[in-house]
């Protein structure tokens, strides 16, 4: 007969507690003990929970439990305000009742094992002492030692009681010094991890009309281990500071970087400090392990245009033509038809095909973008618009000065003319000089020169430039 390890997965199906007195199982009621909830959720995996509950207190020392707080609570941030009472001590108890924790707490105790004969269906019951739970369950039964097995034979473990240390729900326990007896509201506030949100956008672009319809969705995520029932929910767009990394992760930047020209319009949206607020119109239940979406933006007929962009690194040279990036440009100004502060998120772009059906054409991320900004959103690589950068020559002028001649060959296989924003990057030295160029470029920033290059339908255009640099 094979002896195996009694796994945690098997434990879930196998362990059941014996019938308990009513006062012992009262804490397992599925009804929430939360009161009037307000939840403020930030972008950085942090949330402020404010929970107003009515307490009935006696006079003198009182030990008060607050079940159904977040399992990801930061206990050091707890603030409790109770009229005519002061806090003496607080504890956060998070040793939750699970099959595994129940068996671990039973070490040294005696339980009942119920085995079922698969052939006859007959049950046998044995009292067994739990000796150890280390990668498996070791028991003493009928004077000998056994290891509970994972061979699929029906077996149940029945416990006489639930240990006091195990709780059905995360619970904050507070010792109060109450100055009087009676009912009163208590306001519990704390910060929690495991709650976050981000914005997602759907943009339907019409190239013929030069318009885009933009829908904005807020996506809420709850991995805190607790459900927040009928909560007034407020979302804050912006990165709040902290003493440590809130979530220990960083955003991987796309190689197709979204660019924008910062706006100067004031949004009508409510602010707190330097952050914009996005309140949900109705109370909502944020269930544990749930993702929820709520609409916050629906703009029609926003002015937009499509174009192309190609960025070449310093001394970048290619044997084969490379695709330019397809770029969607639009403004979130009031005059353009959008007019809102846009929280960071992913914009997914669609365009209608010849049959009028919306088809996905690409996506990219925007950062928090103030109202009035102009956004250039790369959505993919163009099929028909190519650029071949070539380093024609590179010669030393004197000392550490060099003269570099570049040629950019741009081709367009489309049946209509296009314009490509051609960027030469890597010009980060203060004494860079453009000795000659076939088209007038614009200094975009300290390290980038830009040309707006028109390419005829089914044609090509060549741009040349010579740079005098220190290196």
Looking at the structure, tell me whether residues 220 and 75 fall in a common domain. no
Looking at the structure, tell me whether residues 227 and 176 fall in a common domain. no
Looking at the structure, tell me whether residues 189 and 285 fall in a common domain. no
pTM of this prediction exceeds 0.85: no
Looking at the structure, tell me whether residues 25 and 154 fall in a common domain. yes
Average pLDDT over residues 205-223: 94
71 Ramachandran zone, left/alpha/beta (phi>0; psi -120 to 50): alpha
Per-residue pLDDT tens digits for 324-375: 999 999 998 888 888 888 998 999 999 999 888 999 999 999 988 888 889 9
Average the pLDDT over each of 42-51, 113-122, 194-203, 408-417 and give the range with the smallest value: 113-122
346 contact partners, CB below 8 Å, separation of at least 6: 198, 200, 201, 363, 364, 365, 366
Looking at the structure, tell me whether residues 175 and 69 fall in a common domain. yes
Side-chain half-sphere exposure of 274, counting CA atoms within 13 A = 6
Looking at the structure, tell me whether residues 187 and 200 fall in a common domain. no
Instruction: Give the domain-ending residue among 138, 169, 193.
Output: 193
Give the pLDDT band of residue 9 (cuts 50, 70, 90): very low
Q: Which tokens sit at 410?
A: 């741009």
In the chain the first and final C-alpha atoms are separated, in Å, by 77
Looking at the structure, tell me whether residues 295 and 313 fall in a common domain. yes
Give the pLDDT band of residue 96 (cuts 50, 70, 90): low
Instruction: Give the domain-ending residue among 154, 171, 193.
Output: 193
How far apart are alpha carbons 421 and 114 in whole angstroms? Answer: 76
Which pLDDT belongs to residue 13?
Answer: 37
Who has greater pLDDT, 117 or 259?
Answer: 117
How far apart are alpha carbons 354 and 431 in whole angstroms? Answer: 51
Average pLDDT taken over every residue of the chain: 83
Give the pLDDT band of residue 6 (cuts 50, 70, 90): very low
Looking at the structure, tell me whether residues 52 and 128 fall in a common domain. yes
Per-residue pLDDT tens digits for 250-276: 333 334 677 766 666 667 677 777 788
Looking at the structure, tell me whether residues 93 and 241 fall in a common domain. no
Which pLDDT belongs to residue 239?
Answer: 65
Q: How many domains does the chain have?
A: 2
Looking at the structure, tell me whether residues 102 and 166 fall in a common domain. yes
Looking at the structure, tell me whether residues 132 and 242 fall in a common domain. no
Looking at the structure, tell me whether residues 399 and 341 fall in a common domain. yes
Which pLDDT belongs to residue 26?
Answer: 30
Per-residue pLDDT tens digits for 383-438: 999 999 999 999 998 888 899 999 999 999 999 999 999 999 988 766 788 999 99
Q: Evaluate whether 338 touches 201 at the Cβ level (below 8 Å).
A: no
Who has greater pLDDT, 94 or 89?
Answer: 89
Give the pLDDT band of residue 133 (cuts 50, 70, 90): confident
Q: Which domain holds residue 111?
A: 1-193
């Amino acid at each position: 007969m094979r002896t195996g390890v009694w796994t945690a997965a098997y434990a879930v199906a196998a362990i059941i507690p014996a019938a308990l007195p009513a006062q012992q199982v009262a804490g397992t009621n599925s009804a929430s003990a939360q009161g009037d909830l307000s939840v403020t959720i930030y972008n950085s995996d942090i949330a402020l929970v404010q929970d107003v509950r009515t307490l009935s207190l006696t006079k003198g020392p009182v030990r008060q439990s607050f079940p159904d707080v977040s399992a990801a609570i930061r206990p050091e941030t707890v603030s409790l305000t109770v009229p005519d009472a002061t806090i003496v001590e607080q504890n956060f108890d998070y040793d939750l009742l699970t099959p595994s924790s129940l068996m671990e707490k039973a070490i040294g105790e005696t339980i009942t094992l119920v085995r079922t004969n698969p052939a006859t269906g007959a049950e046998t019951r044995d009292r067994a002492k739990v000796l150890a739970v280390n990668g498996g369950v070791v028991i003493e039964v009928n004077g000998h030692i056994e290891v509970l097995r994972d061979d699929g034979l029906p077996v149940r473990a029945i416990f006489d009681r639930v240990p006091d240390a195990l709780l059905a729900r995360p619970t904050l326990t507070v010792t109060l010094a109450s100055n009087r007896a009676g009912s009163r509201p208590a306001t519990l506030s704390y910060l929690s991890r495991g709650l976050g949100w981000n914005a997602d956008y759907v943009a339907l672009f019409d190239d013929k009309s030069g318009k885009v319809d933009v829908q904005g969705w807020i996506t809420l995520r709850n991995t805190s281990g607790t459900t927040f029932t009928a909560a007034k929910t407020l979302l804050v767009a912006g990165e709040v500071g902290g003493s440590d990394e809130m979530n220990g992760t960083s955003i991987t930047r796309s190689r197709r970087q979204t660019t924008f020209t910062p706006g100067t319009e004031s949004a009508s949206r409510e602010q707190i400090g330097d952050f914009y607020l996005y309140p949900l119109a109705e109370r909502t239940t944020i269930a544990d392990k749930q993702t929820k979406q709520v609409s916050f933006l629906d703009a029609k007929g926003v002015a937009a245009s499509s174009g192309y962009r190609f960025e070449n690194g310093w001394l970048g040279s290619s044997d084969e033509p490379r695709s330019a990036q397809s770029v969607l440009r639009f403004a979130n100004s009031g005059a353009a038809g959008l007019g809102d502060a846009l929280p960071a998120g992913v914009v997914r772009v669609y365009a209608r095909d010849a049959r009028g059906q919306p088809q996905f054409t690409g996506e990219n991320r925007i950062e928090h973008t103030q109202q009035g900004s102009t956004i250039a959103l790369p959505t993919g690589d163009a099929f028909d618009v190519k650029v071949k950068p070539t380093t024609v020559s590179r010669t030393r002028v004197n000392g550490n000065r060099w003269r570099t001649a570049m040629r950019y060959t741009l081709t367009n296989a489309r049946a209509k003319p296009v314009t490509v924003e051609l960027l030469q990057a890597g010009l980060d030295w203060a004494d860079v000089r453009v000795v000659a160029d076939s088209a007038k470029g614009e200094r975009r920033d300290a390290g980038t020169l830009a040309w707006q290059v028109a390419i005829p339908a089914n044609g090509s255009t060549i741009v040349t430039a010579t740079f005098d640099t220190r290196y």
